[in-house]
Amino acid sequence: MTDDQRYRIDREHPIGGEMSEVLLGLLRRLRLSNLLRHHSSVPLLALFSFVNGCLSIALMAIAALVSGAPFVFPSLGPTAFLCFYTPTAPAAAPRNTITGHLIGATMGWLCLQVFGLATAKPALVEGVSWERVLASALSLGLTGGLMVLLRVPHPPAGATTLIVSLGLLPHLWQLGVLMLAVALLVLQAVVINRLAGLAYPLWAPPKAAEPKQGAALGP
Amino acid sequence: MSERRPSVFGDRYQPDVTGDRPPPPGRQALLLAALCVGLLLMGVQLWLLTIALDLYLGGAGGRIWLLALISGVVFVGGLLALWLLSRQPRRVD
């Protein structure tokens, strides 16, 4: 699927993206013929999005409840949505998702150490200091720069780095749990998208065929 | 001083993370079992509602009532399980 097709809004894709294709594949698999005829209706897509979002985060929240570890954190939400809205987009590929969050978490933690905020209370509790301003700005800058440099852009990772650099998850062990939660979500995306018959990559996004020289430039 | 975490099960069922007081014997296992049963019931309800929507869209409105009845029974069963869990264990002196 080309980017033009992926982001087009038409009768089959009333909200753009590929969510209607995910739903179509799942309904075909479950042999629900009446729902299949309405796979591209907006209310049904909204219902699917609601159920899928609830299930994705509920599983993580239950893991957090049982283990007492931070299996659920804010940037997991946009990652979950991305993985089911545009699953074949490069930003939703497992490589981008896992590496992006890893970069975000690491840069956030490094900035906390560099600016002496490792043992400070979260910014939401004690307010924003100059050290916090520098840590949050630098962590987001480094995350964005490194994701581009390594060619693994994943927008929700920007939220991850701020969660860490604002002191909400300051401990190294918490970052391990955070990465485990990301890996679990990716596993869920692989299972659901592949069950729906979509070519969701197992690691890196597939490379598009190189256009012929001069073809894209036009006259 | 560490703080106790809030719990969806209410304060009574929260394991004592401060270590001052051990949880009642078997409480943790009971909660895990309840969680598994709850997830199972939720899965059954989700499936029932999906089938009901499929039938409704197909024009078979009459058969939805049976599904709604089963779904209601599952829901009441879940509530009953929650009520049973919320009862304080009897103190043995």
Cα angle: A173, vertex A159, A132; to 5 degrees? 75
Q: Which residues of chain B lie closer than 8 angstroms to A35, CB-CB?
A: 50, 53-54, 57
| CA–CA gap between residue A123 and residue A126 (Å, rounded) | 5
| CA–CA gap between residue A146 and residue A128 (Å, rounded) | 25
* pLDDT score of A110 more than 70: yes
Percent of chain A whose predicted confidence (pLDDT) is above 90? 68
Give the number of A-B residue pairs with CB atoms closer than 8 Å: 28
What does the pLDDT read at residue B17?
46
Q: Is B46 on the interface with A (CB under 8 A)?
A: yes
**pLDDT (average), residues B57-75:** 85
Residue B64 belongs to a domain: yes
Cβ–Cβ < 8 Å for A105, A82 = no
What does the pLDDT read at residue A215?
54
Range in A91-105, A168-182, B79-93 the model is least confident about = B79-93
B50/A33 CB distance under 8 A: no
Secondary structure of A24-48 in HEC code, one letter for each residue = HHHHHHHCCHHHHHCCCCHHHHHHH
The whole-angstrom distance between A109's CA and the closest CA on chain B is 23
More confident residue, A111 or B88: A111
Residue B11 belongs to a domain: no
What does the pLDDT read at residue B8?
46
Arithmetic mean of pLDDT over chain A:
90
Cβ–Cβ < 8 Å for A79, A97 = yes
pLDDT tens digits, residue range A176-198?
999 999 999 999 999 999 999 99
**Helix (H) / strand (E) containing A53:** helix A42-67
Residue with tokens 């197992």: A202
* pLDDT score of B40 more than 60: yes
More confident residue, A35 or B1: A35
Q: Which residues of chain A lie closer than 8 angstroms to B54, CB-CB?
A: 32-35
Provide the CA B1 distance to its chain's centre, in angstroms: 32
* pLDDT score of A209 more than 80: no
Secondary structure of B32-87 in HEC code, one letter for each residue = HHHHHHHHHHHHHHHHHHHHHHHHHHCCCHHHHHHHHHHHHHHHHHHHHHHHHHHC
**Residue A8 pLDDT level (bands cut at 50, 70, 90):** confident
What does the pLDDT read at residue B84?
78
Query: Taking CA atoms, what residue in A is nearest to B53?
Result: A35
Residue B52 belongs to a domain: yes
Residue B6 belongs to a domain: no
DSSP state of A95: H
What does the pLDDT read at residue B29?
78
For CA atoms A44, A45, A50, A52, the dihedral sign is positive
Q: ipTM of this predicted complex?
A: 0.72
Q: Which of A27, A31, A32 to mutate to test the interface with B (most CBs of B within 10 A)?
A: A32
Comparing C-alpha atoms, which of B93, B92, B51 is closest to residue B68?
B51
**pLDDT (average), residues A101-111:** 97
Q: Which residues of chain B lie closer than 8 angstroms to A62, CB-CB?
A: 35, 39
| CA–CA gap between residue A19 and residue A87 (Å, rounded) | 8
Residue B63 belongs to a domain: yes
What does the pLDDT read at residue A185?
94
User: Per residue in A19-45, is it b (16+ CB within 10 Å) or e — as a string?
Assistant: bbbbbbbbbeeeebebbbebbbeeebb
**Residue B77 pLDDT level (bands cut at 50, 70, 90):** confident
**pLDDT (average), residues B30-57:** 86
What does the pLDDT read at residue A2?
64
More confident residue, A208 or A62: A62
B46/A51 CB distance under 8 A: yes
The HSE-up count of residue B11 (CA atoms within 13 Å, CB side) is 2
Provide the CA B44 distance to its chain's centre, in angstroms: 12
**Residue B91 pLDDT level (bands cut at 50, 70, 90):** low
Cβ–Cβ < 8 Å for A66, A140 = no
As a dihedral over the C-alpha atoms of residue A54, residue A39, residue A95, residue A166, rounded to 10 degrees, the angle is -40
* pLDDT score of A216 more than 70: no
B57/A62 CB distance under 8 A: no
* pLDDT score of B62 more than 90: no
State which residues form the domain around B56. 29-86
Overall domain count for chain B:
1
For residue B60, give Cα distances in angstroms to A89, A113, A162: 39, 63, 51
Q: Is B35 on the interface with A (CB under 8 A)?
A: yes
What does the pLDDT read at residue A214?
56
Comparing C-alpha atoms, which of A79, A83, A75 is closest to residue A19?
A83
